[in-house]
Amino acid sequence: MYLGIDIGTSVIKAALLDRDGHQQAEASERMSLLEAPIGWSELDGEATWETATRVIRGLLRQTGFDPAAIRGIGITGVMVGVWALDENDRLLRPPILWNDARAQDLVDRLQAENPDLISAVFAHSGSVMQLGCTLPVMAWLAENEPDVLARARHILTAKDFIRYRLTGAVATDESEAAMAPGSATTRDFHPGQAALLGIEDHVHLLSPVARGETLAGAVTEAAARATGLKAGTPVAIGTGDTSACVLGAGAHEPGQAVTVLGTTCLNGVIFDRAVYEPRDLGLLFIVPGERWMKSMVNVAGTTVLDWALETLCPDLAAGDAPYEALGALAEQSPAGANGVSFVPYLSASGVIAPRIEPKARAGFNGLAPHHRRADMVRAVYEGLAYAIRDCFEAIGGVKSSIRLVGGGARSPFWSQMIADVTGAPVEVPEGTQFGAKGAALCAAVAIGDYASLDEACAATFALKARFEPSAESRKAYEAGFARFKAGSEAALGVLKAVAD
């Protein structure tokens, strides 16, 4: 048995998997962010550890498994941010998370001084730098809370902190180091990046970097008392949540495409080398076992579907199975939604991969009096599917199947549509906790149960459903995609004209 632990922004999850990777049990508990100024994102660090211990205890209690049956533990979680510990292992301030934007002014100022800043960061990391990344947050602390950095002994991230509490071992993994930002080629921190952000004096606080599929240490006596785990159980380094999810979906072969269709929608392709193109909005995730994933994250994910459900179909939203009812309604309209198209960029955050346009907004196109609600709802599903194709085309196209995970993968109707729209088979893996599974696979390799992550991913992948692209709807979707592209361009063009 392996235990995978996933430290999310608002929920801690854990799953127990058997040797073949089948999920035996899962548990989770929600957490609240601390109240903080707008744009800040902070957690109560000690409460996070306590929540993790309750989730693990609850999982063990619920299953009745002997903790001694757990051969290894892997940890994943939200990446980057700053968890600053002093020499007595106390958190010096509430941890700052990946989605914190307090460094905006500072980064704007650095960029005004050095217009090459963002492209210089990209040149090493292969990712657009996000404000909540470890180094920009450290730069903010250096200016605004220098005492924290002066008293800090370690700067950790969420999963590194939980692993530290379990084992006493200070470490981070390659995915965190590259995203800090660091270097995607060396899969490590990069001194040049710290210099760009003016914090070269503080890099010694960052943790040593290790491969995700190696051992960090073992559960200490104190952690065993807190969690119910057996002292001495091996704990692997693990990896960031995106990479763990990819591993949990069994995706490790170069060329394999992955879509995580959750509140946001991540689309990626696995490579066996660091690829730095395309630049716009690209994120290059380091996947353990010498893999990289070039990705585009689109803010238009299932939140857009939730919007359609609540605003267009409150009657269905109030029912027992709202998503099934929504899918059934959309199916009343044919592929191509009778000519209605929907540009799905509702969010104000400005990220509409594969472009950035802060003022872009969503919209229906082509509405005529004969159109019905079913056409509009279908257009929403299709708009999100076209956005997935748009991202994959920016990455260079899909040459394999797409492994589809996240809440959207629960819809066979939508899964089939994504296959039809992209022209690639869509494979939905068995299981629910893919992040925890990916972390557990790191542990399985670290303790030697599998020779490599290649082997572990292949041996533990189980297919729940596969959707072949159908020739039948291809024509309607090609026309729909062309309308979607025209609609996106028109929206961007109009905005630009208004701005001019």
- Closer residue to ligand ADP, CB minimum distance, 162 or 305: 305
User: Which of 175, 295, 333, 411 is in the footprint of ligand ADP by CB under 6 A?
Assistant: 411
Stretch in the footprint of ligand ADP (CB under 6 A) among 43-51, 199-207, 250-258, 401-409:
401-409
User: Least distance in Å: CB of 245 to ligand ADP?
Assistant: 10
User: What HEC string does the chain produce?
Assistant: CEEEEEECCCEEEEEEECCCCCEEEEEEEECCCCCCCCCCCECCHHHHHHHHHHHHHHHHHHHCCCHHHCCEEEEEECCCCEEEECCCCCECCCCECCCCCCCHHHHHHHHHHCCCHHHHHHHHHCCCCCCCCHHHHHHHHHHHCHHHHHHCCEEECHHHHHHHHHHCCCCEEHHHHHHCCCECCCCECCHHHHHHCCCHHHHHHECCEECCCCEEEECCHHHHHHHCCCCCCEEECCEEHHHHHHHHCCCCCCCCEEEEECCCEEEEEEECCCCCCCCCCEEEEEECCCEEEEEEEECCCHHHHHHHHHHHCHHHHCCCCHHHHHHHHHCCCCCCHHHCEEECCCCCCCEECCEECCCCCCEEECCCCCCCHHHHHHHHHHHHHHHHHHHHHHHCCCCCCEEEECHHHHCHHHHHHHHHHHCCCEEEECCCCHHHHHHHHHHHHHCCCCCCHHHHHHHHCCEEEEECCCHHHHHHHHHHHHHHHHHHHHHHHHHHHHHC
User: Least distance in Å: CB of 498 to ligand ADP?
Assistant: 31
User: Least distance in Å: CB of 306 to ligand ADP?
Assistant: 5
- 263 sits near ligand ADP (criterion: CB under 6 A): yes
Residues in the interface with ligand ADP (CB under 6 A) total 12
Instruction: Show the binding pattern over residues 414-433: x = contacts ligand ADP (CB under 6 A), - = does not.
Output: x-------------------
- Closer residue to ligand ADP, CB minimum distance, 344 or 406: 406
User: Least distance in Å: CB of 9 to ligand ADP?
Assistant: 9
Stretch in the footprint of ligand ADP (CB under 6 A) among 59-67, 150-158, 175-183, 402-410:
402-410
User: Which of 81, 383, 406, 431 is in the footprint of ligand ADP by CB under 6 A?
Assistant: 406
- 408 sits near ligand ADP (criterion: CB under 6 A): yes
Instruction: Show the binding pattern over residues 289-328: x = contacts ligand ADP (CB under 6 A), - = does not.
Output: -------------x--xx----------------x-----
User: Least distance in Å: CB of 7 to ligand ADP?
Assistant: 13
User: Least distance in Å: CB of 265 to ligand ADP?
Assistant: 9
When CB distances to ligand ADP are compared, the closest residue is 407
User: Least distance in Å: CB of 391 to ligand ADP?
Assistant: 16
Chain contacts with ligand ADP (rule: CB under 6 A): 262-263, 302, 305-306, 323, 406-408, 410-411, 414
